[in-house]
Amino acid sequence: MKIPSFPVIVRGASVVAVVLCAGRLGVAPPTDVLARSRQASPPAATDAALIERARAVLERVPLIDGHNDLPWALREKVKYDLTKLDVGESQPGLMTDIPRLRDGGLGGQFWSVYVPASLEGEAAVTATMEQIDAVYLLAEKYADTFEIAGTVDDVERVFKAGKIASLAGVEGGHSIDSSLGTLRMMYRLGARYMTLTHSSNTPWADSATDDPQHGGLTRFGEEVVREMNRLGMLVDLSHVSPDTMADALRVSEAPVIFSHSSARGLTDHPRNVPDDILRELPKNDGVVMITFVPGFVSPKGGAYYKAQQTERDRLERLHPSDDDAQEAGLRAWRKAHPEPTATLADVANHIDHVHKIAGIDHIGIGSDFDGIDSTPEGLEDVSTYPALFAELLSRGYSESDLEKIAGRNALRVMRQVESVATELQSTRAASVATIEQLDGKQ
Ligand SMILES: [Zn+2]
């Protein structure tokens, strides 16, 4: 297996900053990037009446965001010590804090419990446990705002009580160390989705941003999907290769999600969902939770990704086996070639595209706030969701459409996943298959 370029390296107490969701290593942004991006122009949709209508929708239906990396930000910044970083108050160094979550009308959050793909084996499992623990630490410290939710009924009850339903999403199959027992324990701890890969292949599934190794899912990978179906864990296909997407759609007995991806038909970035997969999605009844990552929604994102890959390949040839030199070279390249910027309108264009190809019942929201080092203009932080929904109203979407995009679609998928699990648990015992048995690996 090709080792992905520039693995994230944990050096003592400091962790190299990453663009968590772009795949592979990003270069740490200047510390003032976030502050500057928030001072940018006001939201694109400034029509007060539309904003009010959008807010009213989010009061009726929980806005479920598929992906937010606050737990990783807390790990990086304060090692989870919430006395040192109080998200109950304004935190300009983050995209997420409680005042802005309230302002943005969020109803439910899949907190990403991401750990870098460079962590393997037991180290990945331990770090994932700590990330899940962070979701509980938040819910305990801010019990007036957050409550852990395990089911759709929980989400609806917590939302009605005026709080934000908190669920954990495992970002990458490396987090289970090829162990179905570990998968089950993570479910018991509250993990309600697992992204099958992050930026690198796992031993059983190909990633969108690594060299193809398995041609999609291995036999064990298929067993992972089946066991997730039996547990009632959402199968998340963000980050995986198109072959893995197709295999998962074939194997999964329940609807799938893309927790934070946009449309490849508009931005040809491997992290986005190709049109042929979008066309298949209604049969599976899954949902694409449109992400705000500028490189995935900017019209220039695809060309930028390709140019960066070309430079990365060149640096690998130039400095084979010298990660530091490759990293320095890429940093210099990125300084000379700034990432493309994006706008709220770009994000709305991706929603339009998925609407056109897959239909209104298959769209959700997966911002990736605090997992990215820049944001689209108009979507700078968690307070800005109403501006996006106002933009959709201005484009002719009905309030009923908005309700679906905000949360009804995601909740429908979750409910179906729950009911498939109930059915499967009555006919199938927990799988104790191993990767050695199914894939013949040592
Ligand atoms: Zn991601």
**271 touches 293 (CB < 8 A):** yes
CATH of the domain at 83: 3.20.20.140
Tokens of 90: 């304004």
Give per-10-residue mean pLDDT for the chain (442 aa): 35 38 41 37 66 98 98 98 98 98 98 95 97 98 98 98 98 98 98 97 97 97 98 98 98 98 97 97 98 96 93 94 93 93 97 98 98 96 98 98 98 98 98 97 62
Residue 120 has what pLDDT? Answer: 85
CB proximity list for 81: less than 8 A, separation 6 or greater: none
Whether 177 and 122 have beta carbons less than 8 Å apart is answered as yes
Looking up tokens 């084996």 gives: 121
Measured CA to CA, the distance from residue 224 to residue 203 in angstroms comes to: 12
396 C-alpha to ligand 1 centroid (Å) = 30
Q: Is residue 82 part of a domain?
A: yes
Number of Cβ atoms within 10 Å of the Cβ of 310: 11
Q: Ligand 1 centre from 371 Cα, in Å? A: 7
Distance 20 CA to ligand 1 centre (A): 5
Asked if residue 337 belongs to a domain, the reply is: no
CB atoms within 10 A of CB 128: 27
Question: In angstroms, what is the span from residue 426 Cα to ligand 1's centroid?
Answer: 34
Please report whether residue 40 resides in a domain: no
Distance (Å, whole) CA 231 – CA 68: 23
CA–centroid distance, residue 51 to ligand 1 (Å):
29
Residue 419 has a pLDDT of 98
103 domain residue, yes or no: yes
In a domain, 220, yes or no: yes
Residues 6+ apart with CB under 8 A from 14: none
**What is the residue range of 199's domain?**
48-292+364-372+379-439
Q: C-alpha 91: how far from its chain's center?
A: 22
Query: Would residue 20 count as lying in a domain?
Result: no
Residue 311 lies in a domain: no
Catalytic residues: 67, 69, 171, 198, 239, 260, 368
C-alpha–C-alpha distance, residues 237 and 66, integer Å:
12
CA of 22 to the centre of ligand 1 (A): 6
What's the confidence (pLDDT) of residue 20? 57
Distance between CA 38 and CA 34 in Å, rounded?
Answer: 6
Q: Give me ligand 1 centre to Cα 259, in Å.
A: 8
- For residue 171, the CA-to-ligand 1 centroid distance in Å is 7
- List the Cα angle 238/243/247 in 5-degree steps: 90
Extract the tokens encoding 154: 């929980």
The CB density around residue 313, as the number of other CB atoms within 10 Å, is 11
Query: What is the distance in A from the centroid of ligand 1 to the CA of 250?
Result: 23
> Are 97 and 91 spatial neighbours (Cβ–Cβ below 8 Å)?
yes
Q: CB burial class (10 A; 0-12, 13-18, 19+) of residue 129?
A: middle
Dist. CA 198 → ligand 1 center (Å): 7
Distance 48 CA to ligand 1 centre (A): 33
Closest listed residue to residue 421, CA positions, set 252, 282, 286, 288: 252
Domains held by the chain: number: 1
